[in-house]
Amino acid sequence: MTGITEIAKKTIRIGALIVVSPLVVLYWLLRPVSREDSLFAGFSQTVSLFPGLLGSYLRIAFYRCAMSHCANDSYIGFGTLFSHRDTELHSGIYIGPQCNIGLSTIQRNCLLGSGVHLLSGKNQHRFDDPDTPIRLQGGEFTKISLGENTWVGNGAIIMANVGRDCIIGAGTVVTNDIPPGSIVAGNPGKVVRSRYAESKQGATT
């Protein structure tokens, strides 16, 4: 049964690639005459609208051709947008609907709930000069990392690195780097417990 399932998945992936191939060709034709991330974000808006499980297969097929790295066994929910081509999605990832993903690396087996925002760092907009409109002051995009086997709850906002094996509570705002194995909640997000410490304590009792 497993073998049949894998064959079916491979067949669907090939079909999805065929379906999105016109979009892929158009994207690569427009790259030399476009701002790369703006072009990528525009195409992301288009493919985000494909519904259902088939929609995820179509998104994965497109991003495998357009993104720095996108594993073929991930799931990307309806309405999820990506803003930077240099984004990496590794194996076994689940990204829920209506997420906004900035410049980032999402490591293996991460789970993101609905409406999660991964920002491109916390310095995207400068505002030091009160006499200059904020939109003209520029900023810095930083590639953040979401560690392997991390679960992010609905509506969380992350603008710093998160270590592996973490749990980020729903609605949490992460502004500083989070160590591995942490359970984080609040605004701003604070480490409330360590999964590693609990595991060690359980092993000694």
What is the chain's pLDDT, residue by residue, as a tens digit (205 residues)? 678 888 888 999 999 999 999 999 999 999 999 999 999 999 999 999 999 999 999 999 999 999 999 999 999 999 999 999 999 999 999 999 999 999 999 999 999 999 999 999 887 777 777 878 877 777 788 999 999 999 999 999 999 999 999 999 999 999 999 999 999 999 999 999 999 887 666 555 4
Distance between CA 175 and CA 122 in Å, rounded?
7
Quote the pLDDT of residue 205. 47
Of 199, 86, 200, 91, the C-alpha closest to 143 is 86
3-class DSSP assignment, residue 79: coil
Report which DSSP code applies to 192.
E
Work out the end-to-end distance of the chain between its first and last CA atoms, rounded to an integer number of angstroms.
41
Residue 73 CA to residue 91 CA, distance in Å, equals: 6
Q: What is the DSSP-derived secondary structure letter of residue 138?
A: -
> What is the pLDDT at residue 127?
78
